[in-house]
Structure 1
Amino acid sequence: MSTKNESDSTLDIREADSPAPLESATSSVRPLGSEPAIQLSRSHFVLVFIGLALAVLLAAIDQVIVATAIAVIGNEFQNFQMIPWIGTSYLLTSAAVTPVYGKLSDIFGRKPTIIVAIVIFLIGSGISGGAMDMNVLIAGRAIAGIGGGGLMSLVMIVIADMTPLATRGRYQGIIGSVFGFASVIGPFVGGAFTDGLTWRWCFWINFPVGVVALVIIVVFLKAPSGSGTLVERIRRIDTVGFLLMSATTISLLLPIQNGGIKWDWNAPQTIALFVTSGVCLVLFVVYERSYAREPMIPTAVFANRSTILLVICSFLIGSSIFTVISYVPLYFQVVNGATAMQAGISMFPLVIPLTFVIVASGILISYIRRYRFILWIGFALSAIGAGLVSLLDENSNAAQRIGFLLVLGFGGGMLMQTKTIAMQNSVMPQHIGIGTSLVTFGQVMGSALGIAIGGSVLNNKVVSSLASAHIPSDVLDLITQTPIALRMVLQSNPSLLMEAMHAYVQGLQSAFILSIPCAILGLLLSLAVVEWPQQKLADAQSKQGEKV
């Protein structure tokens, strides 16, 4: 039996950057024990896993399902100017709360935190589905974002607590595949609801799925709760840190979402918000380092360079993969005249390999206990895939479209879940929740930035290309804000239709090209990520657990 002093002197091997001490540090590993923190019977494990997968399905599909219903919603409410806020309101609130969910789950426990997140999400969905005007819909989306912002990271945190290190990859890989599949299939489902039923089902569908997930988690998830009374736990919340981080995030996302579209990049409000974001970030860092009693993001999380690099890599994954995923359906709708459902089907060459590879990479990591080379291959294939997709034009054949999307799907699948496994392997055990939230936050911010800049580049390219086409300004505004209306508006003028279609293809190509340097930079940064071989880490933790 180890003494208290011996236990206190243990040091996690991941507090250093160099993997060299791994060979001789088995006696100084912070004790994790050989058993997961959450102990469940096999039947309860399967049920809880299904519930967690449904929670991820909710979060992932809700981010994209409404994309194909936007035009119908704007027409019903006769308010096209507020359409961008349907997505922006969800993005702002979800991005603002994502970093804090990991810490909240440490304070209040995994189970209460994920239950609250699902309930908030369902409340927002109910308000959105029942909205009778655009303002109420936007408010509902903002509320849903507060809940949805934590679901993905919380699910990964709970799975990390449910599974031993050696087999964690395969389970998180399955969850990652659900996220990837839902992210791409969402527009197809949204189109089906909008065309066949009503756009309100894009939000109402969350209730049967969410209630099932909620019941399973409430009944079958037996997780340790946080220590202390409710008042003591509330006092532990880093309120100032949360407000500063939220201000940083929202002040950054607002000009990114509107710059080059509603506002000029050099407009006073754009510059003011960027400056505000920078100032709030500096204040956040100073406060967390010097004044916070229990920081929202402890500086110890960044005790080695790998954690910092993995957050940046997650940002680059979001800005590269999700930019392409967001705009490829638009290519099929503009060039092929595809409906929302048909565009979703055309995405299958990306969806199928993406889903399969996410699962396969998780299983592979569980067996070989290595993950860094998967990041390398994933970024390389993503750069190649984005480059190939940027070559698509109005004359591309089916083989090119399928082949190019396949390459991107394989690359994206290798990255989606591997980054989370790498982060959980790089931080100390007590920081797994915070580390997982950070990589999720990085991906959300990267997606927001990539999609916003891609949209700005696309619109500017279309407007500049059609400037001399003698298109009435109101028609030009319509086809830039609602590209799927292009064929309907210009069908009486075939030559002008072809010119407008070519302008859109050029704009999409420019947006896709932006993803290439992001993927290349991700590859270069991932080369510097230190890999903690999982077999040695698991063995070391198991031996230390036997001593304590």
Structure 2
Amino acid sequence: MELESINSQAHTAHSDATASPDTDRRKPAASTPEQEPIVLLSNWNFFTILSCLSAAVILCGYDSTCVATLTPIISDEFGSLNDVSWYGIAYSLASCATVLSYAKLYSFYRTTTVLVASFIVGRVIAGLGNSGILSGTNITLARIVPLHKRAFYQALIGGVECVALAVAPFLSGCIAEYASWRVCFYICLPLGVIPIVAVLLFLRLPKTAAQAQDLRPSDKLRQLDLPGMALFVPWVVCLVLALQWGGSEYTWTSKQMITLFALVGTFLLAMQEHATLPLRLLRSRVMLSSMLVTFATSGALYVFTFYVPLYNQAVRGVTTMESGLRDLSRILGLVCAISIGGIATNTIGYYMAPMLFGAALMIVGAALTTTFDPSTALSHILIYQAILGIGCGLVFQQPYTAAQASIATADVNVAIVIITFAQLLGSVVMLAVAQNVFSTRLAAGIAFSVPGLDPNSILNAGATSLRELVPMQYLAGALEAYNGARVDVFYTGLAIASVTTLGALGSGWKSVKQMSKEAKQK
């Protein structure tokens, strides 16, 4: 298996591999035989790199969710309410389909090279570079920050990403209000230059044991497993289509659905032959639990991020800017909690405590949002979203710490990429499921509430066109049907949020402080 052979070679080569870093800028800290040495940067270089990584994840976060507030007006322009989830899926799909490739790229090539390439590709084709930047950011932190301090800095970077994820809908709503929604996608192009320049100038990391192997370019290309990468894209596409179409476009037993699920299974088996997902790491209970927590947290966060604006704009009739303002409570809760979660893990040493508490708050917040209706008080909307945001924030970065605390350092790159993959897959899968639930429930509700109106006319129109298409005497019933569809989507978010508790319980009760002390003693 390709990924496993890479890491086994890294373990063997590590004892003989020596780095020769520039002593003016960094020096390797003491390490155990199982650890790559931590590269200690000067204060100036460290904070420059930290700022640059923060800028990078800001761009990724903005790109991921800036479309959330824009979905109602974009669906109006293109008449495509039935495809709302694809506005968010398309970006995450490209990221999800390429993320596992970065495990091998970061194993063979210098971290700086792959990270800069991800910046450039991400500015040219949105989504393709996102996965490389997210995984590369955590890999870089793993190279320059000791394990017992890593939770704080990962929380810091994760908090910045969450700020971007949460602020992007508000910012894009403001831009769309006064300019055009297309401008929202242009502003990131020049901003991507800053992280590229900073990384090239200040990030100088010695080669890891795997990177130091004397492999020919043809051998590296062979081990990159391009056929396995190519199989992953159709697997994700078939999975998303099956989850979105099942029960709405086609019955679950139709030939179309059977074909899609057969293709999903075929591609999955083929990928296993190519070892796209390394079984050795997936046999770890902590790794599987961390993936489950990340998948569920990301899925729940994306469901509410994309469908709360639909509630605000279609059911409550507010503007895109006001809709963005109503999301601020979730933003603030998310940002504050992710920082608190990192500090708590750094202080007490145990990552499971904030993870479990955050999972409980996620469930409470998600449950409360299902009570939204056309007359819910604004104060309740803000408070319930704040609780949800705090829960997501406490959980968001903990799986990365759990995974790194449970595996050998030579496997860290692959583990980080796998956790990032779970995060991206969670957003893709749950948005597809949410769209299925929304379309099915809305079509049934409109057919019942508005006699003579074809439900497809609503699904093929924009999100804010409901008041224009429905006669006034039926409008209250139509809004109730729309809100009912939204409630079912929020129940879907509640269900996946509940899964985080199961994952958290399996993540292991380990102290990163104690592990760091033992490593130093060795």
Regarding TM over 0.5, the answer is yes
Equivalent residues in 2 for 1:27-426, closer than 5 Å: 30-32=33-35, 36=38, 38-70=39-71, 86-124=87-125, 144-225=126-207, 226-227=211-212, 228=214, 229-288=216-275, 296-426=276-406
Alignment partner of 1:496 is 2:499? no
**1:14-57, Cα deviation, whole Å (9 max, x unpaired):** xxxxxxxxxxxxxx964326x52x33211111111111111111
Aligned to 1:513: 491
Aligned to 2:3: none
**1:100-124, Cα deviation, whole Å (9 max, x unpaired):** 2122111112111111111111112
Q: Tell me, yes or no, if the aligned pair for 1:332 and 1:343 is still in contact at 8 Å.
A: yes
**Partners in 1 of 2:496 and 2:103 — Cα distance?**
27
**Partners in 2 of 1:386 and 1:444 — Cα distance?**
20
Structure 2, unaligned runs of 5 or more: 1-10, 16-30
Q: Tell me, yes or no, if the aligned pair for 1:107 and 1:233 is still in contact at 8 Å.
A: yes
**Partners in 1 of 2:455 and 2:267 — Cα distance?**
41
Q: Matched residue pairs, number?
A: 492
Is the partner of 2:129 in helix, strand or coil?
A: helix
Please provide the CA RMSD for this pair. 2.8
The one-letter amino acid of 1:345's match is L
Out of 163-172 and 219-228, give the one that drifted further.
219-228
Out of 69-78 and 216-225, give the one that drifted further.
69-78
Is the partner of 1:466 in helix, strand or coil?
A: helix
**1:376-419, Cα deviation, whole Å (9 max, x unpaired):** 11111111111111111112112221221121111111111111
Is the partner of 2:509 in helix, strand or coil?
A: coil
Is the partner of 1:39 in helix, strand or coil?
A: strand
- 1:60–1:369 CA distance, 2 compared to 1 (3 A): same
Out of 74-83 and 493-502, give the one that drifted further.
74-83
Q: CA deviation at 1:464?
A: 1.0
**1:184-210, Cα deviation, whole Å (9 max, x unpaired):** 222222222222222232221111221
Q: Tell me, yes or no, if the aligned pair for 1:110 and 1:224 is still in contact at 8 Å.
A: no
Q: Tell me, yes or no, if the aligned pair for 2:240 and 2:432 is still in contact at 8 Å.
A: no
Query: What TM-score comes out, normalization by structure 1 length?
Result: 0.83
**Partners in 2 of 1:75 and 1:460 — Cα distance?**
20
Out of 84-93 and 276-285, give the one that drifted further.
84-93
Aligned to 2:20: none
- Percent identity, please: 25
- 1:361–1:335 CA distance, 2 compared to 1 (3 A): same
Alignment partner of 1:449 is 2:454? no
**Partners in 2 of 1:235 and 1:253 — Cα distance?**
29
**Partners in 1 of 2:81 and 2:387 — Cα distance?**
36
Q: Tell me, yes or no, if the aligned pair for 1:259 and 1:265 is still in contact at 8 Å.
A: yes
The one-letter amino acid of 1:95's match is C
The one-letter amino acid of 1:147's match is G
Q: Tell me, yes or no, if the aligned pair for 1:172 and 1:362 is still in contact at 8 Å.
A: yes
Aligned to 2:467: 487
Q: Tell me, yes or no, if the aligned pair for 1:385 and 1:405 is still in contact at 8 Å.
A: yes
Q: CA deviation at 1:489?
A: 4.0
The one-letter amino acid of 2:333's match is P
**Partners in 1 of 2:300 and 2:182 — Cα distance?**
31
Q: Tell me, yes or no, if the aligned pair for 1:92 and 1:253 is still in contact at 8 Å.
A: no
Out of 534-543 and 340-349, give the one that drifted further.
534-543
Q: Tell me, yes or no, if the aligned pair for 1:459 and 1:480 is still in contact at 8 Å.
A: no
- 1:349–1:162 CA distance, 2 compared to 1 (3 A): same
**1:350-395, Cα deviation, whole Å (9 max, x unpaired):** 1101111101111221121110121111111111111111111112
- 1:162–1:477 CA distance, 2 compared to 1 (3 A): farther
- 1:55–1:266 CA distance, 2 compared to 1 (3 A): farther
**Partners in 1 of 2:128 and 2:417 — Cα distance?**
14
**1:258-297, Cα deviation, whole Å (9 max, x unpaired):** 4455444444333212211112212322442xxxxxxx54
